[in-house]
Amino acid sequence: MANELDKQVLAKAQAWLNGDYDEATKQEVRLLIENNPKELVESFYKDLEFGTGGLRGIMGAGTNRMNIYTVGAATQGLANYLKKNFPGENIKVAISHDSRNNSRLFAERVADIFASNDFTVYLFDALRPTPELSFAIRELGCHSGVMVTASHNPKEYNGYKAYWTDGSQVTSPHDVNIIEEVGKVTEVKQVLTGKNPENIHILGEEFDQKYLAAIKALSLSPEAVAKHNDMKIVYTPLHGAGVKLVPQSLRNYGFNNIICVEEQMVLDGNFPTVASPNPEERKTMAMAIERAEKEGADFAMATDPDADRLGVALRTGKGDYVLLNGNQTLVLLMSYQLTRWAELGKITGKEFVVKTIVTSMMPDTIAEHYGVKCYNCLTGFKYIAKIIREQEGKTKYIGGGEESFGYLPGDFVRDKDGVAAITLVAEAAAWARETMGITLYEWLQQLYVKYGLFREGLVNVVRKGKDGAAEIQQMMVDFRANPPKSLLGSPIVKILDYKTLEEIDVKSGERKAIEGIDDKSNVLQWFAEDGSKVSVRPSGTEPKIKFYFGVKAALACVEDFERVEKELDQKIADIAKELNL
C-alpha cells in the first residue's frame, strides 16, 4: 500500500515537473524528491480540498499545499460558478488579505484571474480586516468576494475564504456547488490569467472611512466616552490587519489615550513576537497585558491576523488581569447592547440576537430578560449571517457571536468583526465607569449574580492523519449508539442530534425536529437534568474532535464569585474525566 502511494505521489510530482508551472515551483518539487520524501508525500498525497469555507493549508509546492496554483484552481472554479449563477450580468467581486506571508501574492493572483474572466474587481491597496471585506461586498453590490487569510493558524499556513452576495461566507447550496466546480479545474491551462488588468479597481483610505462611519453609527453612549475619553486602552494587532483601523475606530468614538504595543504593530507574517497569533491564548496576549500592567490600564485588547476575532484581558479588583474566554466577551458585549437599547427605548419586541449551539446558554437568559428573541444556529458565522438574512425586513438584528472569540454588532458586516467589537468593549467600559463607577470585570461579576454563573470548558481530542480522521468518525458513531446516561449522576433528559436534526426526549423516547435549524451537521448535544450540557463536534478545519461543556450555578453575591467559579471548573473537569477525555 505504501509503495502504491509513493508511486502515485511521484507521478503527481512528475506531472508538476513536466507541466505548465513556473521554474521556482519546479525547483522546490525537485528538492522535495531528492531530499525530503516524507514532505513530498505530505505535499502531493491528496489535493488541497476546497471545503465549505474555502481553502486552508500549509504553504509550499504541491497539490496539498497553498500556492498560486491551488489558489488559481479555486478562483477559476468560483468564477465558473458565478458565471452560471449570474448569466449576462456584470459580475463584481471584492478581494482583501491579511499580513501572512504570500497573502498579497495570492490576493493579486485572485484579482488577475477574476479580471481575466471579465469580472469587475475591487482589490484593497494593502491588507485589510476580514469584516471590511464583508462590508465592501455589500457596499459595492458585489456578487462574491475572497479573503486571503488563515485566521489565527500558525505562520506556515494560509487560506482562502469565499463570500457570497450578502457579505457572508458561502452556505448551502452554493458551498457544495462551488466545490464541484473547483473539482473540475484540473489543469493550469484552464485558469485564465493575464487579461483585462483595467478591470481591477483599487480600494484605499476613502473606502475605510465608509466602514469606520458604519461602526461609529453603532455607538450607544457617546456622552460617557466624552467624559472618559482619556481612559487608557492597550491594543495590539499581533502583526496583523487591525493595525490601522482599530486605533482609528477608537479615535472616531472619541478615545484619545490608545496605547499600542509597538513591537506588534510591525506587519510580519512570521509573527515574531508570539508562538501563535491567537488572542485566545494568554501567552499571545502577554506583551499587551504587560503593557497594561505598566500603564495601569483597565484592559488590554488584541485582534488576530485578519482582525475578525478579539481577545480581551480585564483588570480585576486585585490589580491582576483575567483573559476573558469567548463566551464572557460575548456576554459583556451582548449585555451592553441590550442594556443600552432598553435604556434608549429602542426595544420594541421585534429585535433578535444570535449565538451558536456550542456557545454559553447565558445569552438566552439575558435576551429573555429583555424580551428579545435569541436564535441558536450551527457553529460558524455564516450561519449567524444566514439568520440575519432570513430576518431582514421582519425583525431587527442587535448582535451575535460565538464562543470562539467572535462577535458582530450591527448587520452591515456579515462575519465576525473585531474592529467594531473592540470599539464597543471600550465604550462599554466608559459607560460602566460613568453610570456605576465600576470596571467591566466588576460588571461581569454583577451580571453573574443577576443571571446565574454560567461556566464553560473545551477539551480538544487530537487525532492526526487518515487513521485519526477515521477514529474521530467512529467516536461519533459510538456516541450515537451509546450516549451517556448521566453527567455526574444527573440524568440526561434531552439529546439533540444535528446530523438527523432530531430532538430526543430521553425519558419518553419522543422525537421531534430541532426548532429553527435546517442545516445538518455532525454534532451531538446532551442536556442533563441539572442544566449541564455537553456538545460534541468534529472540527471542520483541524484533525480534532471538540467537546464543549456548559455548567451553571446560582451566585448569591460577588464575594462568592471565585469560590463558585472554582467549583464549576472542577465540575467540568469531573464530567470530562467521566467521559474518559
The confidence band for 1, taking pLDDT boundaries of 50, 70 and 90, is: very low
Between β-strands 144-148 and 157-163, what pairing exists: parallel, antiparallel or unpaired? antiparallel
Domain-ending residue, one of 416, 433, 451: 451
Question: pLDDT digit string (tens) for 392-419?
Answer: 999 999 999 999 999 999 999 999 999 9
Report the C-alpha gap between 77 and 179 in whole angstroms.
8
pLDDT in tens, 194-252: 999 999 999 999 999 999 999 999 999 999 999 999 999 999 999 999 999 999 999 99
Tell me: pLDDT of 52 over 80: no
Length of the chain: 581
Tell whether the model's pLDDT for residue 49 goes beyond 90.
no
Q: What is the pLDDT of residue 5?
A: 59
Q: What is the CATH number of the domain that holds 458?
A: 3.30.310
Domain identity same for 241 and 340: yes
Q: In which band, very low, low, confident or very high, does the pLDDT at 7 lie, cut at 50, 70 and 90?
A: confident
Stronger pLDDT, 318 or 395, i.e. the higher one = 395
Residue that finishes a domain, picked among 434, 451, 468: 451
424 and 406: one domain? yes
3-state secondary structure of 497: strand
467 HSE (CA, 13 A, CB side):
0
- Tally Cβ neighbours within 10 Å of residue 311: 29
- The residue segments making up the domain with residue 218 are 211-451
Given the residues 43, 151, 404, 532, the one annotated as active site: 151
For 78-118, give the DSSP string.
HHHHHHHHSTTS--EEEEEE-SSTTHHHHHHHHHHHHHHTT
Contact between 21 and 69 (Cβ < 8 Å): yes
Q: Is 521 a catalytic residue?
A: no
Nearest to 347 by CA among 327, 367, 364, 330: 367
pLDDT at residue 359, as a whole number: 96
Decide if 487 contacts 577 (C-beta within 8 A).
no
The mean pLDDT value for 309-314 works out to 98
CA-nearest of 125, 121, 128, 72 to 98 is 128
pLDDT at residue number 541: 63
Element (H, E) at 187: none
Query: pLDDT-derived band of residue 306, with 50, 70 and 90 as boundaries?
Result: very high
pTM (2 d.p.): 0.95
Pair 459, 441 in one domain = no
Tally of structural domains, the chain: 4
**pLDDT at position 429:** 98
CATH number, domain at 197?
Answer: 3.40.120.10
Q: Do 379 and 473 fall into the same domain?
A: no
Q: Which of 168, 203, 238 marks a domain boundary?
A: 203
The string of pLDDT tens digits covering residues 10-28 is 999 999 999 999 999 999 9
pLDDT value of residue 4? 67
- Do 195 and 104 reside in the same domain of the chain? yes
Residues 6+ apart with CB under 8 A from 506: 491, 492, 493, 494, 495
Across-strand partners of 148?
97, 160
- What does pLDDT average to over the chain? 95
Same domain, 187 and 222: no
Residue matched to cell numbers 442536556: 527
Cα first-last separation, the chain: 33
Residue 51 predicted with pLDDT over 90: no
Q: Do 489 and 549 reside in the same domain of the chain?
A: yes
Residue for grid cell 485582534: 303
State whether 162 and 245 are in the same domain: no
**Residue among 119, 141, 127 nearest 204 (CA):** 127
Residues 70 and 2 in one domain: no
In this structure, the answer to whether residues 411 and 475 fall within a common structural domain is: no
* Residue 309 shares a structural domain with residue 327: yes
- For residues 283-291, average pLDDT: 98
Mean pLDDT computed over 420-445: 98
Does the pLDDT at position 339 exceed 80? yes
- Whether residues 153 and 114 fall in one domain: yes
Q: What per-residue confidence (pLDDT) applies to 485?
A: 96
